[in-house]
Amino acid sequence: MSQQDDLQQGAQYQTHCNNSVAKAYLYIVATPIGNMGDITARAIETLKQVDIIACEDTRTSGKLLSNFGISTQTWAYHEHNSEIQTPKIIEMIQRGHSVALISDAGTPLISDPGYQLVQSAHTAGVGVVPVVGASAAIAALSVAGLPSDKFCFVGFLPAKTHGRVKQLEQYADRTETLIFYEAPHRILVSLKDMANVFGDNRPATLCRELTKTFETVKKSTLGELVQFVESDNNQQKGEIVLVIGGDVNNDSDDNSIHDKLLLRLIEDLSVKKAAALASDITGVKKNALYQRLLELQKTE
């Protein structure tokens, strides 16, 4: 393909994005996370003009579509039928039909189904177009009052305590802000596990029911958030995002010193004892040093 062909194709794609819904594309459409007023004009136009809307739950999405007078045909697309539905949707697009993917709320694929479909679209040479909008994770980060220049989206933690604690330990010494989703029936136990692993004084913000009537944005520490949620059952309901500050004591200079200490201790001690002694000396959590020592051993 010549440079002129490249430019012409780029111009055609730009026109398509700005003015109309073209056939034979997969549109990833963000929907409101609560307040219906947060839907974009482009999202409404796209959902009205595509041939099919693939929904995580057709009943839930039906309320949204009805609210905006959207009568487009819907297909169920979720984790339990994705293997069957994915090739059907790709085939529909290849035959010249346009398809929009939406989740129950927010931006699809963010802790929601859709990865398999988007991956298959790229493999099949099908165009994938983002129709941007609300995302609970970014909304929470924007109001959390914590550093936002670097962050890590973790999503949902394991449901069982052992798995949850093990995963939290892997993030204990991360310096960037961490974003978690949590189910209301697990919010209290998860906060307690976070306080135990990260420390009671780690800064954190609880964001609950964002954009909805009973919205909560509470910035405090993990220890105080445990008390806050434990004393108010209302905080154990609804959609919840936890934004946790990074480990401010874990800078690069300290890491270098800790690594040297660990490598010296391992010459005479087991991994477990070396991590324990290094923890006593530096004040860094033993589990974090233990994991770091395992990493250092792999690189040697």
Per-residue model confidence (pLDDT) at position 7: 36
Phi, psi of 95 (to 5 degrees): -85, 5
The pLDDT of residue 248 is above 80? no
Residues 61 and 125 placed together within one structural domain of the fold: yes
- Considering only 191-200, 241-250, 282-291, which range has the smallest mean pLDDT? 282-291
Q: Which residues pair with 220 in a beta bridge?
A: 204
Residues 127 and 147 placed together within one structural domain of the fold: no
Domain boundary among 75, 105, 134: 134
- Considering only 8-22, 152-166, 210-224, 269-283, which range has the smallest mean pLDDT? 8-22
Residues 117 and 143 placed together within one structural domain of the fold: no
pLDDT in tens, 22-65: 578 999 999 999 999 999 999 999 999 999 999 999 999 999 99
- The CATH number given to whatever domain includes residue 76 is 3.40.1010.10
Domain presence at residue 148: yes
Residues 164 and 182 placed together within one structural domain of the fold: yes
Q: Label residue 69 by pLDDT band (50, 70, 90).
A: very high
What is residue 279's three-state secondary structure? helix
The pLDDT of residue 8 is above 50? no
Domain presence at residue 163: yes
Per-residue model confidence (pLDDT) at position 219: 97
Domain presence at residue 14: no
Residues 118 and 207 placed together within one structural domain of the fold: no
Q: Who wins on pLDDT, 180 or 282?
A: 180
Domain presence at residue 3: no
Domain presence at residue 10: no
- The CATH number given to whatever domain includes residue 163 is 3.30.950.10
Residues 46 and 96 placed together within one structural domain of the fold: yes
Domain boundary among 106, 134, 162: 134
* Average confidence (pLDDT) over 121-132: 97
Q: Label residue 13 by pLDDT band (50, 70, 90).
A: very low
Per the structure, the count of domains in the chain is: 3
The pLDDT of residue 16 is above 50? no
Q: Please, are residues 236 and 184 in contact by the beta-carbon 8 Å criterion?
A: yes
Residues 62 and 100 placed together within one structural domain of the fold: yes
Residues 228 and 147 placed together within one structural domain of the fold: yes
Domain presence at residue 16: no
- Rg of the chain, C-alpha, whole Å: 24
Q: Please, are residues 47 and 100 in contact by the beta-carbon 8 Å criterion?
A: yes
* Average confidence (pLDDT) over 126-135: 97
Residues 108 and 181 placed together within one structural domain of the fold: no
The DSSP secondary-structure symbol of 233 reads G
Residues 63 and 45 placed together within one structural domain of the fold: yes
Q: Label residue 284 by pLDDT band (50, 70, 90).
A: confident
User: How many residues are listed for the chain in this entry?
Assistant: 300
Domain presence at residue 279: yes
The pLDDT of residue 167 is above 70? yes
Q: Please, are residues 192 and 220 in contact by the beta-carbon 8 Å criterion?
A: no
Domain presence at residue 197: yes
Domain boundary among 244, 266, 283: 244
Q: Label residue 254 by pLDDT band (50, 70, 90).
A: low
Domain of 39 in residue numbering reads as 21-134
The pLDDT of residue 80 is above 50? yes
pLDDT in tens, 172-224: 989 999 999 999 999 999 999 999 999 999 999 999 999 999 999 999 999 99
d(CA 280, CA 221): 24
Q: Please, are residues 244 and 223 in contact by the beta-carbon 8 Å criterion?
A: no
Pair of tokens at residue 237: 């309901």
pLDDT averaged over the chain? 90
E strands in the chain = 25-29, 52-55, 73-76, 99-102, 127-131, 151-156, 177-182, 203-208, 216-221, 240-244
Residues 227 and 256 placed together within one structural domain of the fold: no
Q: Quick one: how far is CA 38 from the chain centroid?
A: 19
The pLDDT of residue 253 is above 80? no
Residues 122 and 149 placed together within one structural domain of the fold: no
